[in-house]
Amino acid sequence: MRENFDSGGQWEDAHGYSRAVRVGSMVWVSGTLASPAALDQGPEGQAADALARIEHALGEAGATMEDVVRTVIFVVDIEHFDAVSRAHRHAFGQIRPASTMVEVCALADPRALVEIQADAIIA
């Protein structure tokens, strides 16, 4: 059975996607930016806020950060690697999901420095 979870974000209806999708024990969380209020916080603050939003979406779908098996991180400047990594390490601690970070030329909001997606398997 498939369940879609929406957050009411401005692009969900316009683009036609869900914040998270759960099928069985698997949960996929769409690429997530920091909330508008956190877009002035720099790369580490934006990453921390995006990860908090991911944690909320996981909870809506019945999962936790401990269920995350992979993250994909998009940054507009690879020089932000260390700052974004600090936020990621803080959010996941010893969970240590598989992860990829790539530099992209732009994100949906021109103020955004980082976008993160997550995949989880509920144990």
What is the set of domains in the chain, with CATH numbers? 2-121 (3.30.1330.40)
Confidence band of 6 (pLDDT split at 50, 70, 90):
confident
pLDDT tens across 14-70, in order?
778 889 999 999 999 999 999 999 999 999 999 999 999 999 999 999 999 999 999
Q: What is the pLDDT of residues 58-73, one digit of tens each?
A: 999 999 999 999 999 9
Beta strand 68-75 with 98-103: parallel, antiparallel or unpaired?
A: parallel
